[in-house]
Structure 1
Amino acid sequence: MQVTATITHFHLGHTTLGAHLYCLCLSSDPFCPCTTTPETIKHFLLHCPHFHSHHTALRSRLSVLAITTLHLPTLIAVSGVHPSRQPAVLHPTSAFLRKSSQLLRL
């Protein structure tokens, strides 16, 4: 259930990541602890060096599905994915969320 809620939050753009908390004036800065890059959903799912091995695994799982262009709308299956393939695409994204150990904070 937690994964489904997190994916829904990603769809809505409402998370507890630094950039969103900063926009709500709930954080003093928008930056990811890894760098001076804003901690956005895109940064978390695609670029944060803290999760490099998880990004690699995600890319590998998606390449099996013939998805080679990774961008946020594809990862959360809101565009670029046929409705019949959405569960298959969300499965690796869900695995990333679980393995990153970040679900409780998202």
Structure 2
Amino acid sequence: KMDTTKWSEDRFNEIIKETSTFIKKVGYNPKAVAFVPISGWHGDNMLDESPNMGWFKGWSRETKGGVVKGKTLLDAIDAIEPPTRPSDKPLRLPLQDVYKIGGI
């Protein structure tokens, strides 16, 4: 929603500060989060780097494998590490609904 703030760097930094405080309170590391200023309405920083936010030099976040960097929301999504699957544990299947079919 950077278009609603006229692509303000100050407002973006204020949001990062507020969000980082909340993230710390719930037990996460803010350095592991990619903060990306976007405008979904205009498509800024979604797939390609935006000329409207020349002040944004990119995001970086810490992972188990090191530091990951990017400039767009797509880069941030691509940088998400898939969770490890507990293949040594018993198989678990979630049940969404139970059906009773008559005549069987």
Instruction: State TM-score, norm by structure 2.
Output: 0.26
Bigger relative contact order, structure 1 or 2 (CA pairs below 8 A, ≥6 apart): 1
Structure showing the higher strand proportion among its residues: 2
Structure showing the higher helix proportion among its residues: 1
Instruction: State TM-score, norm by structure 1.
Output: 0.26
